[in-house]
């Protein structure tokens, strides 16, 4: 990997702010991007919002009201996209796994997100999604609330953000580690732990297990 590519990955990783659960803000490529906005502390103006599924800690109307403007684009699964029309965004784009587009120079791909062993938590038939984004030549994969699924072997990224909670998402820290290896990510950022499920100890275990395999960045709780 070139020095410039490494710098781009580092710059993107440093631009990520975590608010808890899967909620993150990314300021990169001249854009303000939110994924699954939840537990926000103050108003902001989002350029792009990506929502993975309709659970309350991912699709939060109160938080959306803080950041949506008439210039904001929202991408979300088709099964609840009509509910986003009331926020006055520039455009609401319904997506499903396999969706691809380019938005203002940023490549966006929607990829499968579901549970296998806990299928009632995030059923595959819902068509809920994780997102793969190309931000200034760096591929970022936000998995959403998923277990380790076979499709991950066909996804390659530079940075992966994935859940460590083991009640609704990954079945074990070991499965989360395998997801990092399957996607060949050089940087891994654990999320979705420390509030309703999962612990700081899980994050430390995750980091230790990936030692010499990937850089693990443990973000401060929002």
Is residue 146 assigned to a domain?
yes
CATH code: domain of residue 102: 3.60.15.10
Is residue 222 assigned to a domain?
no
- Length of the chain as a residue count: 222
pLDDT at 222 over 80: no
Q: Tell me phi and psi for residue 75, to 5 degrees.
A: -115, 130
Domain total for the chain? 1
Is residue 221 assigned to a domain?
no
State the residue range of the domain holding 51.
3-216
* C-alpha to C-alpha distances, 108 to 105, 142, 205, nearest whole angstrom: 10, 11, 31
Is residue 68 assigned to a domain?
yes
pLDDT digits (tens, 9 = 90+) for 114-160: 999 888 889 999 999 999 999 999 999 999 999 999 999 999 999 99
What average pLDDT does the structure give for the chain? 95
């Amino acid at each position: 990997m070139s020095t410039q590519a490494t710098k781009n990955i580092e710059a993107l990783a440093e631009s990520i702010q975590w608010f808890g659960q899967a909620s993150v803000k990314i300021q990169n490529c001249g854009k303000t991007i939110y994924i699954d906005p939840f537990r926000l502390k103050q108003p902001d103006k989002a350029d792009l919002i990506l929502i993975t599924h309709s659970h309350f800690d991912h699709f939060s109307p109160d938080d959306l009201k803080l950041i949506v403007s008439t210039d904001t684009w929202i991408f979300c699964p088709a099964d609840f996209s009509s509910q986003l029309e009331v926020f006055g965004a520039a455009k609401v784009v319904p997506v499903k796994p396999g969706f691809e587009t380019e938005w203002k120079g940023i490549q966006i791909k929607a990829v499968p997100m579901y549970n296998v062993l806990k299928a009632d938590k995030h059923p595959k038939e819902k068509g809920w999604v994780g997102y793969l984004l190309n931000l200034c030549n760096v591929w970022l994969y936000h998995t959403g609330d998923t277990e380790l699924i076979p499709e991950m072997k066909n996804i390659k990224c530079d940075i992966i953000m994935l859940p460590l909670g083991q009640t609704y998402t990954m079945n074990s820290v070991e499965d989360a580690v395998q997801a990092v290896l399957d996607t060949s990510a050089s940087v891994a950022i654990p999320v979705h732990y420390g509030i309703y499920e999962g612990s700081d100890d899980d994050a430390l275990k995750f980091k230790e297990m990936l030692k010499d395999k990937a850089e693990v960045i443990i973000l401060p709780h929002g």
